Amino acid sequence: MHAIGNALTYDYIIVGAGSAGCVLANRLSADPAVQVLLLEAGGSDRRKLEIRVPAAFSKLFKTRYDWAYYTAPEPHLNNRRLFIPRGRVLGGSSSINAMIYIRGNALDFDEWAEYGGSQWGYRSVLPYFLRSEDQQRGASPFHGVGGPQRVSDQRCVNPLSRAFVAAAEEIGIARNEDFNAAHQEGVGIYQVTQKNGRRFSAADAYLRPVLGRNNLHVVTGASATRIVFEGLRAVGVEYGKGRELLVARASLETILCGGAINSPQLLMRSGIGPQVHLEQMGIPLVQPMSGVGENLQDHPALGVAYQCREPVSLDQAETFWNLLNAVLRGQGPLTSCVAEAGGFVRTEDSLVAPDVQFHFAPAWFVEHGFVRPAGYGFTIGPTLLRPRSRGRVRLGESADTVAIEGNFLQDKQDMTTMVNGLRLARRIGQAASFDRYRGREDRPGPACVTEEEVSAYVRREVEMLYHPVGTCRMGSDEMAVVDGNLTVRGVTGLRVVDASVMPVVTRGNTNAATTMIGEKAADMILDAPAPRAGSFP
């Protein structure tokens, strides 16, 4: 690191200390001769107890640790504005999520290969999942040990979660002990990114162990305002720190890791994006690129909720002694990820892969946890895995804001699948394994029966599952933002490495795949040989 004018120069500048950003900070700074700057708009992840306590994740929503985005009024969802939490803290969304470890379906990555080349096929990306993983259950052809990211079985599984698995088996859904092995389909208890009963975020796994490196410089409270260009080459980042506006220069690469909302926002603020939109915003054009901000996808989800007749749910688990047990020993009900169980199903036999995922919470989970109904409850959450609808991200009234147009459930097939998933959730909820616990169906309620009534419930209640992706997607066509190596097309010295590069959303929670993208990108940047795919059973 050295100064040129008023700017310090590094080899690499990483914008965003989320999952992919933490991976890159670790891997790129492993060479002591390389200077790495990591910029994070949020602050430390060690100042808030709820980050460490797994069951408290929803208490982080709409706090200083959350960007707390909302969509514009959604035309297909009664013009509601949907809440999209995004981590604004070291670790990014891995510091405020539900910690479920799901990679996605093998077919997802083979589809990615159609956009980014064979290097993104399942056999090529699996070694990067293995390299990232420290699997509690040990090594196997589908799991790694000794990697930075701890993957654990849950320490305290609620009896309602076990009842969910049994109930799903009753209606013919097979049990699956490992959704990340040879087959994804089935129901079971989720594994989580926890260690010793506490959250183990990307910051815990990748960043904190290397903070002592002299060549890694982490700046928190640093909001990137634009990428600095000389011609068509990215040479650094302008960022705000307190009341100062600073510039850092990158001699090799600038790497955006802000996620599916912040990365396209920064590109557009810097003059890369849809030409007409940037002209309307008064932003000087560096490189016209129609695809920036397009292709937004997320997983629509909603709840089928029942009253619970026995006091076994998590609804009253927030006691002083349970909190003490979780903090000091990593034990007890507050180590729960809340969405303890779930699974993957095909709502039509003709499908080649699951189209619905279930998240089961042994508690009320209504409106992101902000609403607490009286008494005890449990919630079955059908989730649309492969939405056909597409939205977009644009700059808002000013370049400092964003306008998110989700366009969710615009496609009729998306609504059909959500209705099918809800009906299947009700069948599970009515199975005999729940007889001991099940009270009245609270949501949508017994009066909601007809196709029209169920569809109206979906439009009224569906929310996003916090998995926005796709707004800087990879590919070689005119709507692609990055190529298969994740370099931004039409310019040099600039990459995007985060969930925004996914061409299609994975079938399942997106954090593990984002970590894998970071691992793979590190090898691309360093021109390192890819790990061998190994053998498959």
Distance CA 209, CA 388 (A): 40
Which amino acid would we find at residue 528? A
Helices (H), 376-510: 412-429, 451-461
Q: Smallest Cα–Cα separation from 335: which of 199, 188, 161, 152?
A: 199
3-state helix, strand, coil in the chain (%, to 5): 30, 25, 45
Residue 68 — left, alpha, or beta (φ > 0 → left; ψ -120 to 50 → alpha)?
left
Q: How far is CA 438 from the centre of its chain?
A: 32
What is the rounded CA–CA span in Å between residue 454 and residue 388?
A: 20
**φ, ψ for residue 469 (rounded to 5)?**
-145, 170
Q: Indicate if 76 belongs to the active site.
A: no
β-bridge mates for residue 71, sequence order: 404
Pairing of strands 36-40, 7-15: parallel
Q: Which residue has the tokens 């061409």?
A: 503
Q: How far is 517 from 397, CA to CA, in rounded Å?
A: 32
The closest alpha carbon to 533, from 65, 78, 109, belongs to: 109
Which of 258, 260, 256, 255 has the alpha carbon at shortest distance from 470? 260
Contact 310, 476 (CB under 8 A): no
Token pair listed for 238? 């302008």
- Other beta carbons within 10 angstroms of residue 311's beta carbon come to 9
The catalytic residue among 143, 217, 299, 467 is 467
State the burial class of residue 94 (Cβ atoms within 10 Å of its Cβ: 0-12, 13-18, 19+): buried
- How far is Cα 300 from Cα 386, in angstroms, rounded to an integer? 9
Active site residues: 467
